[in-house]
Amino acid sequence: MSEAVEYDVVVLGGGPAGENVVDRTRAAGLSTALVEAELIGGECSYWACIPSKALLRPALARADARRVPALRDAVSGPLDAAAALAHRDYWTGHWKDDGQVDWLASIGAHVYRGHGRLYGTRKVAVTSPEGEHHVLSARHAVVVATGSRARLPDLPGLTGARPWTGREATSAQHVPGRLTVVGGSVVAVEMATAWQALGSAVTVLARGSGLLPRMESFAGELVADGLREAGTVVRTGTTVEAVVRDGSTGPVTVVLAGGETIESDELLFATGRTPRTEDIGLETVGLTPGDWLPVDDGCRVPGHDWLYAVGDVNHRALMTHQGKYQARIAGAAIAARAAGVPVLETDRWGAHTATADTEALPQVVFTDPEVASVGLTLAAAEEAGRRVRAVDYDLGRVSGAGLYADGYRGHARLVVDLDRETVLGATFVGPGAGELLHAATIAVAGEVPLSRLWHAVPAFPTVSEVWLRLLETYRG
């Protein structure tokens, strides 16, 4: 092992969260090293957010166009699958990270390629692909940003069946004739939407009673309706008990409870995530390999004043924008402490305390219809003991919605705290509903009283006029 190289900060993991920590610590003048075993940019850039949205965009644009009378006949044919895959490849940089590496060099960060492991207090050991070994020492902080990976259930035959996870679903170079999707999660419904539109015969098998179980129930119901209308088979309350693959390239069969079988050309399991912490040296600092890393609201691991964890790995909110938010929080806190300034004395914007990943978490599901949500669902608010009321409105009754799409169907809900008359949560389902989300996020994060929201006048004729209708419904 070589002699330790010292930096102010060492970041373990080069996905969006890790990159944003580097950006903040370098901006504060702290020397920073980034360790990454795969591609700089991480899961989001190459196997999740970016490629999935590139695949989904033509599907959703065509669906919108088909709801406009003057365009309906012009988009009656199939999508150009080859063009869609090529567009996806462009947005992933053809799975090369040269641009990300150049950016890191431009801000003065040092990149170490290879597998990084904690090596005791304030140290990280790196083994390069060529077998070289380096030890990096951090004066102020080590930040773990190693993310998560797909979790596969322990089912007979599954490993040998070579199932898709989200990675294979977003990077596949061919359109499978038949695709079975196991799960009712965001990944499951988005990939079902994309591949059905590109030409696959898709079957979705969800174990629970509905899709998108962590969101308002009407969201999953409307998404299931949309998938079925597009030609996807959606089955809920269905349990897979075994998987069989015919040879190395043959069809794959899932065996359901009761013995029924379903055959397809590819099989996607979208059944959860697990942290990438099993081999990063947690045991050298008294933590358990394979566990999620608990953190305080400053993203610091309790009991270790030098160790931070941001992004999926801390299990607070497994979404790219939240990992980047946490990175900004951690980077600001590290910079303040490195300067010897108590963080609370400089925390003018609350910049050292993460709250948005627990109280005002925004999310968009890019299906047809889209789902946009922030804050608490009605059930979660009631479980938390809050005195609340759900305010619902049919999005299709808003003038702007009817102009946006012929036969627009959707639903909106606000969850109102009756004691404070503020919005605790909001969910919008409908074509283009994602564009309604940031206003709701501001209302929730800012705890804006409904009496003030009444004076935030929505432009006519836009879909955002639903805010006026929801407030009118609340007032009665």
DSSP E strands, 261-384: 261-264, 266-269, 273-275, 307-309, 362-365, 370-375
Residue-wise burial string across 330-350, b where 16 or more C-beta atoms lie within 10 A, e elsewhere? bbbbbbbbbeeeebeeeeeee
Decide whether 5-41+97-149+275-356 matches 159-271 in CATH topology: yes
In one-letter notation, the amino acid at residue 405 is A
Nearest to 368 by CA among 143, 83, 65, 164: 65
Under the phi-then-psi rule, with left for phi > 0, alpha for psi from -120 to 50, and beta for the rest, what region is 183?
left
- How far apart are alpha carbons 215 and 370 in whole angstroms? 13
The domain segmentation of the chain, as residue ranges, is 5-41+97-149+275-356, 159-271, 369-475
Q: What is the pTM of this model?
A: 0.95
Q: Which CATH architecture has domain 5-41+97-149+275-356?
A: 3-Layer(bba) Sandwich (3.50)
Length in residues, the chain: 476
Instruction: Name the CATH superfamily, with its identifier, for domain 159-271.
Output: FAD/NAD(P)-binding domain (3.50.50.60)
Q: Which residues contact 70 (CB under 8 A, 6 or more apart)?
A: none
Using DSSP bridges, classify how beta strands 422-430 and 411-417 pair: parallel, antiparallel or unpaired: antiparallel
89-95 long-range contacts, CB within 8 A, separation 24+: 90/54, 91/50, 91/51, 91/54, 92/45, 92/46, 92/50, 92/51, 92/54, 92/171, 93/45, 93/46, 95/39, 95/46, 95/171
Q: How does pLDDT run along the chain (476 residues), one tens digit per residue?
A: 568 899 999 999 999 999 999 999 999 999 999 999 999 999 999 999 999 999 999 999 999 999 999 999 999 889 999 999 999 999 999 999 999 999 999 999 999 999 999 999 999 999 999 999 999 999 999 999 999 999 999 999 999 999 999 999 999 999 999 999 999 999 999 999 999 999 999 999 999 999 999 999 999 999 999 999 999 999 999 999 999 998 877 899 999 999 999 999 999 999 999 999 999 999 999 999 999 999 998 999 999 999 999 999 999 999 999 999 999 999 999 999 999 877 665 565 667 788 888 889 999 999 999 999 999 999 999 999 999 999 999 999 999 999 999 999 999 999 999 999 999 999 999 999 999 999 999 999 999 999 999 999 999 999 999 999 999 999 98
3-state secondary structure (DSSP) of residue 405:
coil
Where do the H-state alpha helices sit in 152-271? 166-171, 186-197, 217-230
Rg over CA atoms, the chain: 24
For the domain made up of 369-475, the CATH class stated in words is: alpha beta
DSSP 436: G
Tokens of 397: 């009754």
Pair 383, 42: CB distance under 8 Å:
no
Q: Calculate the CA 267 to chain-centre distance.
A: 21
| Inter-residue contact 182 to 240 (CB < 8 Å) | yes
Cβ partners under 8 Å of residue 337, min gap 6 = 140, 141, 343
